[in-house]
Amino acid sequence: MRKKYDVVVVGAGPIGSYTAYQLADKGFDVCLLDEKENIGEDVICAGVIGKDAFKRYDLPSKSILSRIDSATFISPSGQRLEYEPQDVFAYVLSRNILDKGILKLAKKIGADVILKQKVKDIKENSGYYTIVCNKKKYHAKTVVLATGINYELHSKIGMSKPPKFLYGSQIEIPISFSQSNIQIHIGHKFVPGSFGWVIPAGDNSSRIGVIVNRKGRIWLERMLEQRLNFSVKKLNKDELKLKPIAYGPIKKSVKGNILAIGEAAGQVKTTTGGAIFYGLLCSEIAVDKLSKTIKNGCSLNDYELAWRSALASELDIGKRLRKIALTLDDEKIEKLFTFVKKNRFWVQLLVPRIDFDYHSNLIFFCLKSFGSLMKIPKRW
Ligand SMILES: Cc1cc2nc3c(=O)[nH]c(=O)nc-3n(C[C@H](O)[C@H](O)[C@H](O)COP(=O)(O)OP(=O)(O)OC[C@H]3O[C@@H](n4cnc5c(N)ncnc54)[C@H](O)[C@@H]3O)c2cc1C
């Protein structure tokens, strides 16, 4: 008799592995497949995650490289605004240790982890799915697509891709700018309509990156040279990594008893490109809905409704902010920095609205408060 799993999860990134872990923990028969042999290696990611997210989920604490207790926002001309809360508010993680750690949890709790298995197709036959790999086939009642930015299976089963992509470019260099501070660089000269970062990554090294609409590597080189006075000639260009980042959710994340999750569903912050927390949050929702589908045959459509009601407005407001940011020239950005620095009470009004994972409250407040100063049209 061929084995039929309750769930086959395709993709052992953090979101796929965490979903497999939770499902196996609930006693379901789970198989986790990934085309890679070495999970967590060569991942392009800044690895920043909010402290609360780390508390909420069983993430391996060994993956923490740095504890972040302040952020400095830097204007095009170099004006600085400091955010210094009382305590650590985020961590910088080693994706290698994080991804391997979550995979290990899934395996330990009983999921069948099978690597070097590229899933080529998914076929439905009499209420079950056949997951087709190069040489093997797997069978399951339900399927989770956690394939990151690989959307090949989506088109095979009739799901769409995200509407658009941003591009993240990053390099890790053996220089320490700070042990616990994140720098956020803003301005058209370096990162048009977006931002660049300098992040401490433990062991005297830093991650420097940008997230932009296009030409990621070129903007990163510009930031390194003109902003950080770092000669790009000293670098091996292959170390300037580039990766698309889903910008906006896919149209439908459920098809029969198949669901998409994490970056595969476009569950990515439209403000910063951060995806781990939103993916984990949706993984919690997915596990609840999948349990009901497997046990009682309930429709998976509830998954779609639940995650969108949790995140849709955040994703939407982030997109609006990006649209506005593209219209702000460096002069307007300088004006805002000067205004807030001169009128320090604004800092007291802004700080309580800062949340690492939910940005809409702060965005609404800023647009209302500074809209006329920045000449932002009233109907944004
Ligand atoms: C420059 C940059 C910086 C970033 N910084 C941050 C950050 O600071 N914080 C944050 O939260 N997020 C950040 N992100 C986003 C984050 O890295 C990703 O969105 C995250 O890895 C998504 O996790 P995932 O599990 O959904 O997908 P992935 O981590 O991409 O995992 C997908 C897995 O699926 C496997 N797979 C794909 N297709 C198949 C197939 N057909 N068969 C078998 N296996 C398959 C892949 O091998 C892979 O292992 C950043 C992204 C970039 C580009």
pLDDT value at residue 155: 96
Distance CA 221, CA 283 (A): 36
Q: Which residue spans within the chain are E strands per DSSP?
A: 4-10, 30-33, 48-50, 64-68, 70-74, 80-83, 90-93, 112-114, 119-125, 128-133, 137-145, 164-173, 181-187, 191-200, 206-212, 241-247, 254-255, 258-260
pLDDT value at residue 1: 59
Per-residue pLDDT reduced to its tens digit, 269-326 = 999 999 999 999 999 999 999 999 999 999 999 999 999 999 999 999 999 888 888 8
- Residue 340 Cα to ligand 1 midpoint, Å, equals 36
Q: Whose CA is nearest to atom 10 of ligand 1?
A: 274
Cβ pair 267, 307 in contact under 8 A: yes
Give the β-pairing of 90-93 and 112-114: unpaired
35 lines ligand 1 (CB under 6 A): yes
From 8, 34, 96, mutation site for ligand 1 pocket: most ligand atoms within 8 A of C-beta: 34
243 lines ligand 1 (CB under 6 A): yes
pLDDT value at residue 36: 97
160: left (phi over 0), alpha (psi -120 to 50) or beta: beta
Distance CA 17, CA 23 (A): 10
Give the β-pairing of 181-187 and 191-200: antiparallel
- Residue 321 Cα to ligand 1 midpoint, Å, equals 24
CA distances from 234 to 172, 217, 229 (A): 13, 15, 12
Per-residue pLDDT reduced to its tens digit, 76-111 = 999 999 999 989 999 999 999 999 999 999 999 999
Question: Are 4-66+94-163+247-317 and 67-91+164-245 in the same CATH fold?
Answer: no
Average pLDDT over every residue of 126-152:
96
pLDDT value at residue 367: 83
133 lines ligand 1 (CB under 6 A): no
Average pLDDT of the chain? Answer: 93
Q: Does 2 score more than 80 pLDDT?
A: no
Domains of the chain, by residue range, sit at 4-66+94-163+247-317, 67-91+164-245
Per-residue pLDDT reduced to its tens digit, 195-253 = 999 999 998 899 999 999 999 999 999 999 989 988 888 888 889 999 999 999 999 99
262 lines ligand 1 (CB under 6 A): yes
**Assigned CATH topology for domain 67-91+164-245:** D-Amino Acid Oxidase; Chain A, domain 2 (3.30.9)
Supply 33's token pair.
Answer: 């497949």
DSSP bridge partners of 128: 125
Q: Domain 4-66+94-163+247-317, what architecture? A: 3-Layer(bba) Sandwich (3.50)
Per-residue pLDDT reduced to its tens digit, 239-272 = 999 999 999 999 999 999 999 999 999 999 999 9
- Residue 314 Cα to ligand 1 midpoint, Å, equals 20
- Residue 195 Cα to ligand 1 midpoint, Å, equals 20
pLDDT value at residue 370: 79
Percentage of the chain surpassing pLDDT 70? 99
User: Of the given ranges (24-38, 147-161, 222-236), which has the lowest mean pLDDT?
Assistant: 222-236
Give the β-pairing of 191-200 and 64-68: unpaired
pLDDT value at residue 249: 97
Give the β-pairing of 112-114 and 30-33: parallel
pLDDT value at residue 352: 86
From 35, 57, 117, 272, mutation site for ligand 1 pocket: most ligand atoms within 8 A of C-beta: 35
pLDDT value at residue 312: 95
Average pLDDT over every residue of 24-41:
98
pLDDT value at residue 328: 85
pLDDT value at residue 223: 92
- Residue 72 Cα to ligand 1 midpoint, Å, equals 27
